[in-house]
Amino acid sequence: MNSSADVVAGASGGLALTNASERRVVLEATDLRRTFTGGSRLRPTHVSAVDGVSLTLHAGETLGIVGESGCGKSTLARMLVGLEKPDGGSLLYHGTDVTKGRASDRKLLRRGVQMIFQDPYTSLDPRMNVGDIIAEPMAATRSAPAPVRRDRVAELLGLVGLAPDMMSRYPHQFSGGQRQRIGIARALALDPDVLVCDEAVSALDVSVQAQVINLLADLQRRLGVAILFIAHDLSVVRHIADRVGVMYLGRMAELGDTETVYDTPAHPYTQALLSATPSHSRADRGKLSRRRVLGGEPPSPVNPPAGCRFNPRCWLATDECRTSQPPLRSLDLREVACHHAEQALAEAPAL
């Protein structure tokens, strides 16, 4: 069976049509940090879920975020939509710092940046009908009177490929793909300019994944929204993202143009991650012997290693890597956090 990325309509390395550098910046995160405290009062534990992540999102582009489970992708997403408050760093929405600004600025972020959640079976209130679910953001913000809200709900249902007369039904009467379309309609209710998709297709069947991805592509072309797309499926991200960021243990390892990062990865972790992607063609299977095999388990975020957090699993690690944290620096059309990125790039396996 083909992966969902194989059937994305019009996919050619990104949904948007123009170069990201030519568009205005909608969302800009600088050195974002978030630490969670657990354990007991006598033995508290501190987990640095996001540790100094910076990124920009331009109008109308798609930025993909990939990485292993537990690397901080979802925590980053929740900070970008205002569901988690950063412990440090700044988040600018249209140039305004919403982490230190006025309450009215934070309200603008919550209206302009909307999330599409992973599980369509738990993200919709089973006691509310579809019309009320989609209208809830408008009712909560008092952005439209009740008669206008009903017309808007009908418009949004049509926009995501569902019949307007479905608004009286309840979530249990819909399939998983239809429920995710309802979640997308709800996210669009306040006319946002950014959609944050946190594993938005991972709970769906492969064929349904393709339908939802195609829908997002169509909405982006029609509405001009920017999309931050978090996923485990690297093939899907390659087909829909203009740029891609690779996270490891709370930090950004590599960030750049999708084609550059996928074809010539400069960070050893990116190389290993792409090497682990399943290959379907005979030519790709013939390259397996030259691919990077990543050993061991990710270090505990409760007690991360000093220096580069990837150093215990890296074949290029030196004393510098074990003592000094590498900054995110520019290298060949991307940014990479690696002391030995030039060597990694020169020795990169065929992927």
Say which residues have a Cβ less than 8 Å from residue 274's Cβ, sequence separation at least 6: 234, 262, 265, 351
Distance, in Å, from the CA atom of 30 to the CA atom of 57, rounded to the nearest integer, reads: 12
Amino acid at residue number 151 = D
Write out pLDDT tens, residues 97-142. Answer: 998 867 888 888 989 999 999 888 899 999 999 999 999 999 999 8
Three-point CA angle 25, 229, 331, nearest 5°: 60
105 CB-contact burial (10 Å; exposed 0-12 / middle 13-18 / buried 19+):
middle
Residue 223: pLDDT band (50, 70, 90) is: very high
Q: Domain 3-347 carries which CATH code?
A: 3.40.50.300
Instruction: Return the closest-CA partner of residue 296 out of 287, 309, 284.
Output: 309
Relative to beta strand 96-97, strand 88-93 is: antiparallel
Q: Which two three-digit tokens encode residue 54?
A: 């910076």
Which sequence spans correspond to the domains of the chain? Answer: 3-347
Distance, in Å, from the CA atom of 66 to the CA atom of 68, rounded to the nearest integer, reads: 7
Task: Supply the pTM of this predicted model.
Answer: 0.88
Write out pLDDT tens, residues 55-108. Answer: 999 999 999 999 988 899 999 999 999 999 999 999 999 999 998 867 888 888
